[in-house]
C-alpha cells in the first residue's frame, strides 16, 4: 500500500466532513490524528491522513468486499495509515456503525469518509486502569473488584468521551450524554437505579465510593454508597444551577451559580454532613479544596470557610485570621493556605503545623503535600518543608540541593523536586521514592514526574519522563519503582497515569505500556491479548452474519 499525495479537490471535501463532525461533537474533537477515505471505485477505498492544520499528508489504496463489515474496512484503514483505533465518519458527520456491512452503510462511489482518531485517555481507581481508545471504545485491566473487568458492559462502551474514577469503580460519559458504570456495585459500579435520569451528562465527580453527575440543566444525579454521597435526596431540591462539584473521600460539595454551596454525604462515620453552622457564610464561593474528610472554600473577598471533620481541617472557628487567601493546598489530614503576601497559614492537625518554619515561609508560590507533610516552593525557587519527618517533613539532608526548583511531585510518603536544569532531588521515606540514588545519574532533562502514591506512607514510587521520551523509575519495586521488564518499550512517552501501585504510560503512537503491581493494573499484556483474540472472534462472527443477511 504505497503512499501518495492527496488531491486538492479531495482536501476541501474532507474538511467539510470534519466540520460537520466537529459541530456534531460540540467541539470536543481532537484533530491531532485524522484520516480520510474516498471511495474511488466499487470495493476500492483510497485512504489518507490529515494533520491538525488540515493538510493531507499521504494516501493508500485498500480493497474491500462490499459484503464485509465497516469494522473490517476500519481496521484496514488503520493499518494502511499506520495509526491507532479510530471511528469512520460519513459525509453527514455521523459515525458509521462498525457492525454493518459496507453495502448496508450505503457507501457510494466518490463518497468521502473521515477516520477520526481521538487521543488515548487513561483513568485509574486504586487498583485498576481504564483507557479510552482512539475509536471511543474502552479497555480495562487490573483488579476486577476495582473496575479492572468491564466485560459486563463492554458492548455499551462505544463513543466514550471521558471517564471518571472513584476508588472502586468507573463511570464513562458517552457521546450522547448517557453514562455507563462498572466496578464494585456497592461503591458506584452499579447505576441502574438512576440510569433513566443519566441523560445529557456534562461532568462527573467522585468520592471514594460514590459518583455525582452534573446534567445539562444544572441538576445533579448521584449513585453509589449512600454514606459517601451516593444519596442526595435530602438536598435534591437545592441542587439547581450547579456549576461544579468537589469531593472528599466521603462527601460532595456543589457550588451553585449564585456562589452558594450545597453539601451532602458524611465524615467517614455515621455522622451526616451538616453545613448549617456556616451556611450563611458560604456566599460568592470561588473554589473549594478538600482533605480526606473536610472542605475549605475560598470566597470572593479572599476569606475562607471550612466545614467537616475537625481533626482533618474542618474547624470553622480557626479560619478567622485567614484573609486575602490566594490558594489552598491540602494533604490527607490538613490544609495550608497561601496568603496574598506570600506567607502561609495552616490549621487543625498539629502534626502539620508550620509554626516551626513560619519565619521562612515568605513569598510562597506553590505547596505540595504527602499524606502528612508539606513542601513549599518560594519565590526564590528554594524549598521549605514541614510536617511528619517520616513523610518528607524533614528535608535538611538535601536542603543545599533544593535550589532553582521548578515543581514538586509527591507520593504518600516522599517528595521529588524537578530543578531548572532537569535534574531531580528526592527526600522522605525510601520505600515511597524518597531515595533516588540508584538512578540519579539517569535523571537528566526530566520533563515531568508521575507518582504511584501508595497508601498511608507505604510502598510508593515515582516515574520520570525525560526529554527524549524515555522513562526512569524509582521507589518500591512492587509499586512500579522497577520498570526494567518494559524499559525497551518505554520510548516516546507522552504522559503517565498511576493507580496506588502501578503505572500506565501512553506513547506517541497512542499505545499503552504498564508496569508495577499486577493486581493494581501493572500487567496489561494478558488483558490485551485476550481482548484482541475476542475481537477477532467477534469480527469473524459478524462477517458470517452479515454475509448471510445480505444473501437473504
Which CATH number characterizes residue 44's domain?
3.10.20.90
pLDDT in tens, 32-45: 333 444 433 334 44
**pLDDT recorded at residue 395:** 97
**Residue 370 within a domain:** no
Residue 424: give its domain's CATH number: 2.130.10.30
Same domain, 191 and 261: yes
Boundary-marking domain end, from 205, 232, 267 = 267
Q: Which residues of 299-326 are buried (b: 16+ CB within 10 A; e: fewer)?
A: beeebbbbbbbbebbbbbebbeebeebe
Provide the grid cell at 549.
Answer: 443477511
Question: Is the pLDDT reported for residue 65 higher than 90?
Answer: no
d(CA 385, CA 375): 4
Predicted pLDDT at 38: 43
> Domain boundary at 267, 301, 323, which?
267
**Domain co-membership, 158 together with 175:** yes
In angstroms, rounded to a whole number, what is the distance separating the alpha carbons of residues 233 and 215?
Answer: 16
206 located within any domain: yes
**Do 75 and 215 fall within a single domain?**
no
Cα distance between residue 317 and residue 116, in whole Å: 54
Tell which of 267, 297, 330 closes a domain. 267
Q: How far apart are CA 143 and CA 125, in angstroms?
A: 10
- What DSSP state is assigned to residue 298? E
Residues 77-80: contacts with CB under 8 Å, at least 24 apart: 77/35, 77/37, 77/45, 77/47, 77/115, 78/115, 80/1, 80/47
- Cross-strand bridge partners of residue 493: 507
pLDDT of residue 336: 87
Shared domain for 243 and 103, answered yes or no, is: no
Which residues are within 8 A (CB) of 145 and not within 5 positions of it... i.e. 6 or more apart? Answer: 127, 168, 183, 184
455, exposed or middle or buried, with CB in 10 Å at 0-12, 13-18, 19+?
Answer: middle
Q: Based on the domain organization, do 180 and 76 belong to the same domain?
A: no
Residue 270: is its pLDDT beyond 80?
A: no
Cα 446 to Cα 464: distance, rounded to the nearest angstrom: 6
Same domain for 130 and 238?
yes
The pLDDT confidence band at residue 50, using thresholds 50, 70 and 90, is very low
Helix axes 70-81, 525-551, angle to 10 degrees: 130
Say yes or no: 155 and 202 in one domain.
Answer: yes
Please indicate, yes or no, if residue 355 is contained in any of the structural domains: no
How confident is residue 542, by pLDDT bands cut at 50, 70 and 90? low
First CA to last CA distance, the chain: 34
Same domain flag for 460 and 480: yes
- Confidence check: pLDDT of 421 > 80: yes
Lowest mean pLDDT among 89-103, 105-119, 278-292: 105-119
The pLDDT tens digits of the residues spanning 246-265 come to: 999 999 999 999 999 999 99
CA distance 437 to 454: 20
Whether 303 maps to a domain, the answer reads no
Percent of the chain with pLDDT over 70: 80
Dihedral sign for Cα atoms in the order 100, 105, 111, 112: negative
Asked if residue 221 and residue 136 are part of one domain, the reply reads: yes
The predicted pLDDT at position 243 comes to 97
Q: Is residue 28 part of a domain?
A: no
User: Do 173 and 221 sit in the same domain of this protein?
Assistant: yes
Q: What is the mean pLDDT of the chain?
A: 84
Task: Please check whether residue 434 lies inside any domain of the structure.
Answer: yes
Using DSSP bridges, classify how beta strands 33-41 and 493-498 pair: parallel, antiparallel or unpaired. Answer: unpaired
What is the largest distance, in Å, between two alpha-carbon atoms of the chain?
Answer: 84
The per-residue pLDDT for range 477-518, each reduced to its tens digit, is 999 999 999 999 999 999 999 999 999 999 988 889 999 998
- Asked whether residue 102 is domain-assigned, the answer is yes
Determine the structural domain holding residue 515 and report its residue range: 398-526
Q: In this predicted structure, what is the pLDDT of residue 543? A: 54
Lowest-confidence pick of 14-23, 419-428, 499-508: 14-23
Per the structure, the count of domains in the chain is 3
Lowest mean pLDDT among 97-106, 334-343, 535-544: 535-544
Does residue 321 fall inside a structural domain?
no
Q: What is the average per-residue pLDDT within 193-219?
A: 98
Q: Which of 141-150, 185-194, 521-530 has the lowest mean pLDDT?
A: 521-530
Q: Are residues 150 and 107 in the same domain?
A: no
The grid coordinates of residue 529 equal: 491479548
Query: For the segment 439-462, what is each residue's pLDDT rounded down to a tens digit?
Result: 999 999 999 999 998 865 578 999
Amino acid at each position: 500500500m504505497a503512499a501518495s499525495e492527496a488531491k486538492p479537490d479531495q482536501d476541501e471535501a474532507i474538511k467539510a466532513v470534519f466540520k460537520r463532525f466537529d459541530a456534531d461533537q460540540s467541539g470536543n474533537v481532537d484533530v491531532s490524528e485524522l484520516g480520510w477515505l474516498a471511495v474511488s471505485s466499487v470495493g476500492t477505498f483510497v485512504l489518507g491522513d490529515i494533520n491538525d492544520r488540515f493538510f493531507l499528508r499521504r494516501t493508500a489504496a485498500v480493497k474491500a468486499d462490499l459484503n464485509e463489515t465497516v469494522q473490517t474496512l476500519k481496521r484496514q484503514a488503520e493499518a494502511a495509515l499506520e495509526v491507532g483505533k479510530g471511528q469512520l465518519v460519513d459525509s453527514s458527520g455521523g459515525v458509521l456503525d462498525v457492525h454493518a456491512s459496507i453495502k448496508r452503510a450505503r457507501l457510494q462511489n466518490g463518497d468521502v469518509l473521515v477516520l477520526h482518531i481521538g487521543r488515548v485517555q487513561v483513568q485509574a481507581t486504586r487498583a485498576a486502569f481504564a483507557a479510552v481508545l482512539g475509536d471511543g471504545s474502552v479497555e480495562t485491566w487490573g483488579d476486577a473488584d476495582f473496575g479492572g473487568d468491564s466485560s459486563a458492559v463492554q458492548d455499551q462502551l462505544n463513543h466514550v468521551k471521558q471517564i471518571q474514577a472513584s476508588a472502586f469503580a468507573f463511570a464513562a460519559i458517552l457521546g450522547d450524554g448517557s453514562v455507563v458504570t462498572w466496578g464494585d456495585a456497592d461503591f458506584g459500579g452499579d447505576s441502574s437505579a438512576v440510569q433513566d435520569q443519566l441523560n445529557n451528562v456534562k461532568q462527573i465527580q467522585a468520592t471514594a465510593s460514590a459518583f455525582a453527575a452534573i446534567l445539562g440543566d444544572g441538576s445533579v444525579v448521584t449513585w453509589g454508597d449512600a454514606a459517601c454521597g451516593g444519596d442526595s435526596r435530602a438536598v435534591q431540591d437545592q441542587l439547581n444551577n450547579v456549576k461544579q462539584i468537589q469531593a472528599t473521600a466521603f462527601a460532595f460539595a456543589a457550588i451553585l451559580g449564585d456562589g452558594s454551596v450545597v453539601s451532602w454525604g458524611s465524615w467517614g462515620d455515621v455522622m451526616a454532613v451538616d453545613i448549617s453552622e456556616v451556611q450563611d457564610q458560604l456566599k460568592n464561593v470561588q473554589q473549594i479544596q478538600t482533605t480526606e474528610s473536610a472542605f475549605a472554600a475560598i470566597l470572593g473577598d479572599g476569606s475562607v470557610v471550612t466545614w467537616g471533620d475537625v481533626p482533618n481541617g474542618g474547624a470553622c472557628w480557626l479560619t478567622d485570621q485567614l484573609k486575602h487567601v490566594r490558594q489552598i493546598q491540602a494533604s490527607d489530614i490538613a490544609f495550608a493556605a497561601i496568603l496574598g503576601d506570600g506567607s502561609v497559614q495552616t490549621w487543625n492537625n498539629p502534626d502539620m503545623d508550620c509554626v516551626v518554619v513560619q519565619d521562612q515561609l515568605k513569598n510562597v508560590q506553590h505547596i505540595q503535600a504527602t499524606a502528612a507533610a508539606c513542601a513549599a516552593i518560594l519565590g526564590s525557587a528554594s524549598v521549605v518543608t514541614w510536617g511528619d519527618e517520616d513523610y518528607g517533613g524533614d528535608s535538611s539532608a538535601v536542603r543545599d540541593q533544593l535550589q532553582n526548583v521548578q515543581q514538586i511531585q509527591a507520593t504518600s510518603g516522599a517528595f521529588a523536586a524537578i530543578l531548572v536544569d532537569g535534574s531531580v532531588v528526592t527526600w522522605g521515606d525510601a520505600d515511597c521514592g524518597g531515595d533516588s540514588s540508584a538512578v540519579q545519574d539517569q535523571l537528566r532533562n526530566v520533563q515531568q514526574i508521575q507518582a504511584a502514591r501508595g497508601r498511608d506512607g507505604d510502598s510508593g514510587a515515582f516515574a520520570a519522563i525525560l526529554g527524549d521520551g524515555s522513562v526512569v523509575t524509582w521507589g518500591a519495586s512492587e509499586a512500579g519503582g522497577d520498570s526494567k521488564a518494559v524499559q525497551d518499550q518505554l520510548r516516546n512517552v507522552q504522559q503517565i497515569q498511576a493507580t496506588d501501585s502501578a503505572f500506565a504510560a501512553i506513547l506517541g503512537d497512542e499505545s499503552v505500556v504498564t508496569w508495577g503491581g499486577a493486581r493494581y493494573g501493572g500487567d496489561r499484556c494478558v488483558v490485551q491479548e485476550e481482548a484482541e483474540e475476542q475481537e477477532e472472534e467477534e469480527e469473524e462472527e459478524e462477517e458470517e452474519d452479515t454475509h448471510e443477511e445480505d444473501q437473504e
